[in-house]
Amino acid sequence: MALVSVEDLSIVFGGLAALSGVTLEVDEGEIFALIGPNGAGKTTVFNVLSGLYRPSAGRIAYAGEDLLRLAPHEIARRGVGRTFQNTEVFRQLSALDNVLIGEHARLRSGVWSGALALPWVRREEAAARQRALGLLGRLGLGEAAGVEAGSLPLGSQKRLEIARALASEPRLLLLDEPAGGLNPTETRALMAVICSLRDELGLTIMVVEHDMDLVMSISDRIAVLDYGRKIAEGKPREIAADPVVIEAYLGRDEGGA
Ligand SMILES: Nc1ncnc2c1ncn2[C@@H]1O[C@H](COP(=O)(O)OP(=O)(O)O)[C@@H](O)[C@H]1O
Ligand SMILES: [Mg+2]
């Protein structure tokens, strides 16, 4: 069953077609990679899916609903979580507080009513804290809970961003270049984390990534974008052997994701 169904999606920025007629379906429980050279339109797909960009044309169904009728906060409430290509943690807050901010998007009490110290608010806060600590542990950041996020190594900041996205209990998680800037050891740890989110939490995951080892080993299916058009889609083995992909992308020296 498709959780996300993107049909004929186009978006134009000042005369430049960033996406042209892109159609793709992502099944519930799938790890689906979007790859392609820089500027191909990968982040733009995520920005449309999270409601930040309005497309010029096309339709998107998410869990049976018309996603393009929803505001960004409504999309988030329906379980679309994401991370950003440029890591965006709150640098001066602790790792734990970074995750709690993700939880507050969902809690009844909100960020400020905690100050009222009503019993149910305090119970909710305590439960939120436990969940946040659990998420940090899942992402290998258990020791870093009290550490200022900005002082963590990049690999940890990237995992912290994923923990924060998970705090809102997403059903669909969009990861934009999660391995960007990571060393091979950190990348391998990240791959295990991503697979566990699908295998243990049942998430559907869309990932944009430059690291071909990561893409080829964790993805169920891959779509390739080039100049805003989808030029190929298939299983990793099919994509790696597709002459159109090799010509348009994998064969180019400049790299890209
Ligand atoms: N907000 C925007 N305003 C103008 N141009 C944009 C905007 N967002 C993306 N673009 C352009 O759309 C194209 C695709 O961008 P992007 O989706 O970020 O590519 P990718 O993530 O594949 O590297 C690029 O040419 C980029 O400059
Ligand atoms: Mg991008």
Could you tell me the two tokens for 195? 């697979």
Cα 226 to the center of its chain, rounded Å: 20
d(CA 161, CA 138): 13
Please report the pLDDT score of residue 253 as a whole number: 52
Write down which residue in 111, 130, 163 finishes a domain: 163
Domain of 70 in residue numbering reads as 1-79+170-257
Q: Is the CB of 43 under 6 A from ligand 1?
A: yes
Global pTM reads 0.91
Write down which residue in 163, 181, 212 finishes a domain: 163
Low-confidence ranges of the chain (pLDDT < 50): 255-256
Please report the pLDDT score of residue 255 as a whole number: 47
Number of other CB atoms surrounding residue 111 within 10 Å: 12
**Order of strands, sheet of 2-13, starting from the edge strand that comes earlier in the sequence:** 16-27, 2-13, 57-62, 65-66
Partners of 223 in beta bridges: 34, 233
Please report the pLDDT score of residue 250 as a whole number: 57
Nearest in space to 208 (alpha carbons), one of 218, 198, 200: 218
CA 10 to centroid of ligand 1, rounded, Å: 12
Partners of 33 in beta bridges: 207, 222
Please report the pLDDT score of residue 110 as a whole number: 56
Q: Is the CB of 40 under 6 A from ligand 1?
A: yes
Report which DSSP code applies to 95.
H
Residues 176 and 73 in one domain: yes
- The amino acid at residue 211 is D
CA 113 to centroid of ligand 2, rounded, Å: 37
Residues 120 and 238 in one domain: no
Write down which residue in 136, 163, 190 finishes a domain: 163
Report which DSSP code applies to 150.
G
Q: Residue 187: which CATH number?
A: 3.40.50.300
Please count the structural domains in the chain.
2
Going by alpha carbons, the residue nearest to atom 4 of ligand 1 is 13
What is the position in ligand 1's atom list of the atom closest to the CA of 45? 17
Q: What is the pLDDT of residues 20-72, one digit of tens each?
A: 999 999 999 999 999 999 999 999 999 999 999 999 999 999 999 999 999 99
